[in-house]
Chain A
Amino acid sequence: MRCETARTAISQAMDDLRAVAPSVTDHVSGCAECRDFIHGVRRIRELTRFEVASDVPDLAPAIMAKVEAEAEARRGRRLRKRAMRRPRLHGPRRRGDPRTRRVVGVGLAAGLVTGAVLTGGGLVSVHQTDTAALADVIPARLNGAASTLEGYRATFDITELDWTRAVPQRTFVADLAFREPESFLVRVHDTTRYPSAAWPRNDLSLVSDGHMWQASGPNPCPRAELPACPQSQPVVRTVVDRMPFDASTAMPTDVIVPMTVLAASDRVDVVGPVTVGGRAAIVVELTYQDATPLFGCLQFLGSWRPYYPTDRVLVALDQETWLPLRYQVYPAPTAERLAWAAAEGLPRELSTAPVFTATIRSVSTQVPPTDTFTLPPVEGAVDEGFKDLPLSSVALVAQATLIEPKQTEGLPVVRIGTLARTAARPYQAVTFAYARGLSWLTITRVTSWEQQAPYGVGPLAEAVPLLGGSAVALYEPASASEPRRLALHTDQGEFLVASNLPRSDLVAVASSLPVKGLALPETWSNRTWYGGSVRAGLGVEDAIFQAGFDVLLPRVLPTGYGAAAALLVQSGDSKGITITYRRPAAELGDGLLLTESTGQSLPPPSGADQQVVSLRGTLARWSPDEGRLEWIENGLYCSLAGPGFGLADLVSIAASLRGV
């Protein structure tokens, strides 16, 4: 055999991940030059895959600005052709006239404060209850407070440190208003003294009456480009015919009652009692990653300083009303955080001093008038296409669509309507929205569904039994962009229950629908794509059993985490399994994703800041941007990703992997 023939075969085998023919092996064993060739090509692969990739700029803002300009031009052409419509609804029957409610003072530090005492949440005396007991009752108290809150007005004073070196401190005043079921307003006034008028002010506004939604303010600007930032021009985004409780045009009401994480947890981490503005409060702690919904009322537009996912957020909850009185961000005390801060250009920040503080100046639970949330018709608005039906037709529509739950957790219907089939949305949908206070629930029935996948949840949704035991549904916890969801595949169409209520409430509501959740059709669970096939919809134990190789499983997991769902992947001769571990209520950081596959080499590096770490007797690649550890172990490719976790946490979990 000629050397060139052998080397071509070796080069090809490296790319195909196959063994070379015996004749090539025989040749190489007697040819030192070909052995050098093997050494050389392996070194090149090591250099390109184990060494770091070149630094990659974030081009997404520039690309999206161009895309948005193009889309805006298209929309403008389309929308000029039709008149603006704004449907009016008969609202639900009010529980009493807000003007007659009892008004009491809530004596906070700076400002006139009036409001009604919330009775739904009840009282828990911090002096009589230890922190462990409080940790168990706070979620229920928050839920109680949320479901009884008919209206809310508050003003927060905000201080943010270290935005840029030229502007080390910024201050804001945020005014908030809420009226059930879905009217919301936040106006952020930037009160910072900037070095010059060239600096963009973070004056923001978000207003919605549920049907129409509008956000305005400057576009985000990379801090490095400040103050000259052409893309930070003021923008106005308007949506009309909005779906009730639409996640893509969300109303960041967690700042009023933190429903996404705190109210849905089994328990919360209580730090202890504190006094804020003369009010007795209880401080609870969560990571910044879990607390991101609290910042949604600020970060929908404008430029803000970055935070590390494991930074600590301390939330002071009023002991009587359970409304947040203050929330603060403290830097996480870890070396990784220090490295991240240096890369972000932040100064050294102490873990004992807050870098962000929002303190309530005044609060009232009087119901704001409806015109607080009124928006004028706007040119160039995006039409979501939701057509309201009169509430007088609820019974008729419910009967026709089978959206007749026997159980809605006491929430009355506030809106019903339809989404017509369009080219961009090739299905029809009917949605019922139920709400009381800040608590809400939607049930959507989808027909003409042609996709071979469940509506509203992804391939790693968790199969959960419904009450009664004979039906199943697919559950996904709340994420950074979606609420908690439960999907049912039935012989009457696809049903999706979405809510900010706890998971058990979703299960109860779905169980009370007059339809039966069926297992997904085989053709939905087994998807074939260009590179192979994916089998979804399996329980974790079934997936491990059917993987076809010895799966390694963690013996150590962070508190609250459990295996939720799994996928099996077959690509050529390679078999793989992906298992997701997450918390049942909310997973704002994507949870943990464990992937193992046979016959796969280490994928190419994807970032400039990757590092090599020692793990399980071999070398692993650590990608901080993705929070991912990857290594090859006895021919098995392993990847453990947890964007909200630090390297030390992931190494501990990876070190605990054992065969089943």
Chain B
Amino acid sequence: MREPEPEIIRRAQAGDQEAFETLVRGAQADAFRFAFHLTGDRGLAEDVTQDAFLRAYRALRSFHGEAKFSSWLLRIVRNCAVDAYRKTRREVAASIERKDPAAPAPSDDRLRIAEAIRRLPMELREPFVAIEILGFNYAEASAILHIKTGTLKSRMYRARLRLMRALADDEAAHEM
């Protein structure tokens, strides 16, 4: 996510809706992708993203630039995702379980990695998405996720290990 100009943030804080729309357009892709990876559900991710931007709009005056705007926003996305996930986890879990085990394996690497990420437990998925997919560093991811950097480093390692194994298993199954 490319950081918005401070002037755009200031204008949005002053109530300039065009400036806020600029913020939305600049950040919506990462916000949606973060929400999508956290919830594992496209429709839910859309709701979460919209909810997060509305919360950000209401809270914009409380943003004083101590952290990056993107970190601040994604923390809101994460909170919204957690709320939504809690509300709907039964349905989501059920929809995952309903997936046909005989369905063909993902046909390309993109689908394989997406599926493997989706299967990561939340405690590993969150740091992986923030750091590897969205490109935040440890300090920024720590601010977004409220997790100490030492814990983040360890979880990143575990996430990578799991993904490698998942990809290897998937390829092996695909070759059989």
Does B bind A?
Answer: yes
Spell out A's residues near B (CB within 8 Å): 7-8, 11-12, 15-16, 37, 40-41, 43-45, 47-49, 51-54, 56-60, 62-64, 66-68, 70-71, 248, 423-425, 451, 453, 458-459, 481, 529-531, 603-604, 606-607
B133–A12 touching, CB < 8 Å: no
B49–A11 touching, CB < 8 Å: no
Assess whether B100 is interfacial by the CB under 8 Å rule. Answer: no
Give 20 CB contacts A-B under 8 Å. A8-B157, A41-B160, A44-B113, A44-B164, A48-B113, A48-B132, A51-B110, A54-B114, A59-B28, A59-B32, A60-B24, A63-B49, A63-B54, A64-B21, A66-B50, A66-B54, A71-B15, A424-B15, A451-B10, A481-B18
| Top 9 A-B pairs, shortest CB-CB distance | A424-B14, A40-B164, A11-B157, A604-B135, A56-B29, A47-B113, A63-B53, A8-B157, A51-B110
CA gap between A157 and B46 in the complex, in Å: 41
Q: Which residues of A contact B164 (CB under 8 A)?
A: 37, 40-41, 44
* Contact residues, B122-176 vs A (CB, 8 A): 131-135, 137-138, 153-154, 156-157, 160-161, 163-164, 167-168
CA gap between A410 and B113 in the complex, in Å: 66
B153–A45 touching, CB < 8 Å: no
Of A41, A44, A57, A481, the residue contacting B46 (CB under 8 A) is: A57
14 new A-B contacts, CB < 8 A, other than A47-B113, A57-B46, A60-B28, are A15-B138, A15-B156, A16-B138, A44-B163, A47-B109, A53-B33, A57-B32, A59-B28, A60-B24, A424-B14, A459-B5, A481-B18, A529-B68, A604-B132
B24–A63 touching, CB < 8 Å: yes
Closest residue of chain A to B13, judged by CB? Answer: A424
Given the interface pairs A60-B24, A604-B133, the reply to whether A67 lies near B153 with Cβ below 8 Å is no
How many residue pairs link A and B with beta carbons under 8 A? The number is 126
CA gap between A248 and B6 in the complex, in Å: 19
Of A11, A51, A66, A425, the residue contacting B14 (CB under 8 A) is: A425
Of B5, B36, B134, B161, the residue contacting A458 (CB under 8 A) is: B5
CA gap between A52 and B29 in the complex, in Å: 13
B36–A63 touching, CB < 8 Å: no
Assess whether B20 is interfacial by the CB under 8 Å rule. Answer: yes
Given the interface pairs A41-B164, A57-B46, the reply to whether A458 lies near B14 with Cβ below 8 Å is no
Q: Which residues of A contact B21 (CB under 8 A)?
A: 60, 64
Assess whether B67 is interfacial by the CB under 8 Å rule. Answer: yes
Q: How far is the CB of A470 from chain B (nearest CB, A)?
A: 29
Q: Which residues of A contact B67 (CB under 8 A)?
A: 530
* Contact residues, B24-66 vs A (CB, 8 A): 24-25, 28-30, 32-33, 36, 46, 49-50, 53-54, 57-58, 65-66
Of A15, A16, A67, the residue contacting B53 (CB under 8 A) is: A67
Q: Which residues of A contact B161 (CB under 8 A)?
A: 7, 37
Q: How far is the CB of A11 from chain B (nearest CB, A)?
A: 4
Closest residue of chain A to B138, judged by CB? Answer: A15
A16–B137 touching, CB < 8 Å: yes
Assess whether B88 is interfacial by the CB under 8 Å rule. Answer: no
B109–A67 touching, CB < 8 Å: no
Q: Which residues of B contact A423 (CB under 8 A)?
A: 14
A56–B57 touching, CB < 8 Å: no
CA gap between A458 and B5 in the complex, in Å: 9
B156–A11 touching, CB < 8 Å: yes
Q: Which residues of B contact A48 (CB under 8 A)?
A: 113, 132-133
Q: Which residues of B contact A60 (CB under 8 A)?
A: 21, 24-25, 28
Of B33, B50, B57, B134, the residue contacting A62 (CB under 8 A) is: B50
Q: How far is the CB of A261 from chain B (nearest CB, A)?
A: 22
CA gap between A592 and B10 in the complex, in Å: 26
Given the interface pairs A44-B164, A60-B24, the reply to whether A531 lies near B68 with Cβ below 8 Å is yes
A59–B50 touching, CB < 8 Å: yes
A530–B134 touching, CB < 8 Å: no
CA gap between A150 and B151 in the complex, in Å: 70
Q: Which residues of B contact A68 (CB under 8 A)?
A: 17
CA gap between A43 and B7 in the complex, in Å: 39
A248–B18 touching, CB < 8 Å: yes
Closest residue of chain B to A53, judged by CB? Answer: B33
B46–A59 touching, CB < 8 Å: yes
Q: How far is the CB of A526 from chain B (nearest CB, A)?
A: 14
A67–B54 touching, CB < 8 Å: yes
CA gap between A248 and B156 in the complex, in Å: 46
